[in-house]
Every structure is written in C-alpha cells, then in structure tokens.
Amino acid sequence: MKIALAQLNYHIGNFEANTQKIIDNIQLAKDKGADLVVFAELAICGYPPRDFLEFEEFIALCESAAQEIAKYCTGIACIVGLPIKNELLQGKDLYNAAYFIEDGAIKAIVKKALLPTYDVFDEYRYFEPATQFNCIDFKGKKIALTICEDLWNINDNPLYISNPMDELIKERPDVMINIAASPFSYTHDDERIKVLADNAKKYHMPVFYVNQVGAQTEIIFDGGSLVFDADGAMKAEMKYFEEDLQVFDLEEVENVRNKYPQSERLTDIEQIHDALVLGIKDYFKKSGFSKAVLGLSGGIDSAVVCALACRALGPENVMAVLMPSKFSSDHSVQDALDLVNNIGCMHEIVPIKDVAEAFDHILAPAFKGLPFNLTEENIQARIRGIINMAMSNKFGYILLNTSNKSECAVGYGTLYGDMCGAIGVIGDVYKLQVFELAKYINKEREIIPVNTIVKPPSAELRPDQKDSDSLPEYEVLDKILYQHIEKKQGSKAIIAQGFDEALVLRILKMVNIAEFKRYQTPPILRVSPKAFGMGRRMPIVGKYMA
C-alpha cells in the first residue's frame, strides 16, 4: 500500500480554496501512484476555527465540501479532517473528526478522543470526546487512525486517563496514521519526534504522521510530517515551513532502512526566522493585504522586523518611516538609512521635533511647570504611533509592531505608541534572540548595519538614554524571564538558581503589573513554548507577585 502525506497550508473558513487544494492534491497523489492520500486535522475548515464552530452554516459548509471531495476519490482513497455534528442530545454539539473516503463515498468516521485544553488549545470548548474506537480496513491492511493529541498521552505525566491506541491495538492494526494540526515552537519538533517514535516502539507499528503548514494569525504550523518504522526509527521527515506531498510504500517503510530522504535539521534561530517570515506572509495574504509599514528607529528591533517583512512581502511592499526627535542621534538616523539602502525598501523621513514641542506648548498650563519625565517620553512614542497609523490609513499599509518579548514582558513600551500595530512580529522573541536573528539575517551579506547590532540599545526619548537605565542587562533579564514565563517558575525557585533576590522580585513584579498593557497589544506571532496572548492567560488585577 502506497500512502501519500499531503502537508498543506489551509485558510480558516475559506472552503472554496481549501476544497480545491485538497482535490488538486488528491489528483497529484493519484498521479504519483498512491493508494491513499492523508490530509491534516480539520483540513476542510482550517485550524483553529474557534467560534466559527458555533455557526450551523459553518458546519454545513464543511459537510458540503467533504461531499464534493468524495467525488474525486475514485481509484484512490483519502483521509481528511473536519468538524461533524454530534447526533446525541447529551454532550457537546460537535466532534473533531476524520472521514475515510473511498470509491466516492464516506466509508468510515473517526472521532478525536483527547481534546487539548491548555496553552493555545481550547478544543473541549467545542467538541465531545470520542469513546468508541475502531480500525479501518483498506487493501488488506488495518489502519489505526488517530487525530493529533490522541497519540500524545504517552509521557511520564499523562494528561488523560485513557489512550485511544490502547483500544485500537486490540484489533491488531498494521499501521498507525495520525492527522494533526500541531503548532510550531522552536522546541516542539524534537518533542514531536520523540512522542511519535515512542508510539511506534510501544505498539511496534509504523507511524505515518501528517501536519499542516502555514500561519493562522498568531499560530504558526511548521509542517515537518513524519514517518517511523515499527522500531521507532525515523524513515522520513518532510519539509518545514512549506507545502509538501510525498508518497511512501508501507512495505518499504516496514522492511527497508533509510530509503527516504530527510530534511536537514534547522537550528532554533533558523526555525524562528523561517517561522516569522511565514507568519508575516500568511497574515497578509490571508487578510487580503500586501503592503506593510513600520517605524524604523535605527535600533535592532525595528531593523530585524523590517528585514523579515522584506523577505516575506518583498522590499517593494514595505514602507519604513524614520521619525527622528530632538533626542535622536545622528548615527541612529544613518543606521536606519543604511538599512533602507541595503534592503531596498520604501522609506519616508518625518521628523517629530515640532510636533513634540507643540504638545509641550499646549500642555504647559495644565502641567503647571512640572519637570520633564516619562510623560513627555510617552508623548513622543505616541506621536510616532499616530504617524505610523496615518501612513497606514492613507495608503492601506498594515502596521507591524516591533516590540520584543523582553520589552513586552516588563512593560517597557508605550500603549498607543510603540506598542500599536496589527501584528506583533517579534513579541515572542527575547532581546538576545533578536541579536542572534540579526546575525543570521546577515549571514551572507550585511543587511542590518553592524553599528545597529553592536551599539547599546536605546529608546532615545531623553538625552543619552540607554535601556540599561531602566532595565537590568538583557543577559540577566532574559534568563530570569525565561524561567518565569516558559518554565513557569516563581520567585523562590528562580532565586534558588543563584539570581539576586531583589532583582528577581523586581522583575516578576514588572511582568505582572504590565499585564494590562499586553492585554491591549496586537496578536503576537508564536515561536516559543509559552507566548504572550491566548496561550498565557493572566488576571490583570491579580495580586500574586505584583
């Protein structure tokens, strides 16, 4: 039996495009000699559909698309994911399901049992878990078909009390097939490989795994579909961050070692880079926009975002707006211009000195002679936000936010100023990782000016300002933030690692009191195991660690 894995980029709710893409790949797999082609979890509607699932029409369109797809399954079978109705009154109204389609008809239905409700997942909000399990008979083989999380209950701390494969194995299947929508983080590929290999070894059976690819607002799917033999040895690793279709012979997977080529493994920074480029590209394409605008300060954050945007959209579609103030250094303006010249994007220079002075003048009576402080710094940032949004409104550009994760964590940013935007490009990338990204972007030639990389970071909102005036050095700050955010460690556990007690308490308090700012920021492209946004839900008025 020849099995094709179709790793595709879907668009949530775009039934016409998704259906046509599935049909095209059924034909492609058929042309390549496949007996069965496998598509991802909720492929028909795209993942995650969220509250679209509450509309009866949405579910009806899924079913209609499946019936259209079935017409093309002649001479080849397919497995495709979609939401279906729960016909029982009790329980949730829907199942997360997969259709097995053969000879133009739906021959079997498999329902997902383990519904993740953690981090970015919220499946139990919509779906009823399956309680009955059966294999699928096809071409003399028994297929144990599972959906994503159904294979993940295999570690030392299981989240669920049951395991679908423990039931399916009773029917003595020949092969496991798992369809998934497994979001990207720079640690997740290794976890995914281990979980699937452990399943193959536990049940002593080949595993065919297909993941979707592409970005859905802040969630990025990296693809990397996989095949394992019954000993848990990886036999194939499909492309990352791009669509792919490959055909595998089940007998060869079982009996021949190292037949299929595997992708070269990417470093964490390479993965983050490719994920962010894909995230930008799909946000614009799926939203129907093509041109971006951002404020370009001469600093490293905006430089990296500008470079990523140019790679995703083309430099001709990126507008960089330089907005020097009376505190901007000459070298910052020149660094920004050097980047523009190196990369070839559009640019405008809009000085804000006169605007800031106008605010000083009109607010002077109300401020009653009080000295310059954070208020005037924030006014400058908000002036820049207004200018960026004016460019967006006037020319139809979409504003990219350039705040990094270190800044987002401790609230080092101005609401309605540098924190505005439609999508946060590097809001899940710590400052030290931003420096690594800059060096990676420059690996073939200088794109980001060297001076931008080596100079001390500064917001340049007051004379001789440096980030280190307000924040600990990033070498220390990022380590503490990582322990608190990704590792979920409290103050005592972090202090026990050798960090200064007063510093840890100060940083954790900054993180928690800044929650109100993060609540009002744009969605952030998720590249880490714990990103700000829907995957990290904190109370704004909570007292713990504040």
* Residues involved in catalysis: 41, 112, 148
Terminal-residue alpha carbon distance, the chain: 59
Could you tell me where the DSSP H helices lie in 175-232? Answer: 188-203
Residue 516: burial class (beta carbons within 10 Å; 0-12, 13-18, 19+): exposed
- Asked if the peptide bond before residue 48 counts as cis, ω within 30 degrees of 0, the response is yes
* Both structure tokens of 329: 């250094």
Could you tell me where the DSSP H helices lie in 488-543? Answer: 491-495, 501-513, 515-518
The total of other beta-carbon atoms located within 10 Å of residue 464's CB is 9
Q: Are strands 2-7 and 36-38 parallel, antiparallel or unpaired?
A: parallel
Q: Could you say which DSSP state residue 39 is in?
A: -
Q: Could you say which DSSP state residue 315 is in?
A: G
Nearest to 349 by CA among 297, 303, 421: 297
318-322 sheet: strands from edge to edge: 346-349, 318-322, 292-295, 398-401, 423-424
Q: Is 505 left (phi over 0), alpha (psi -120 to 50) or beta?
A: alpha
Contact 318, 346 (CB under 8 A): yes
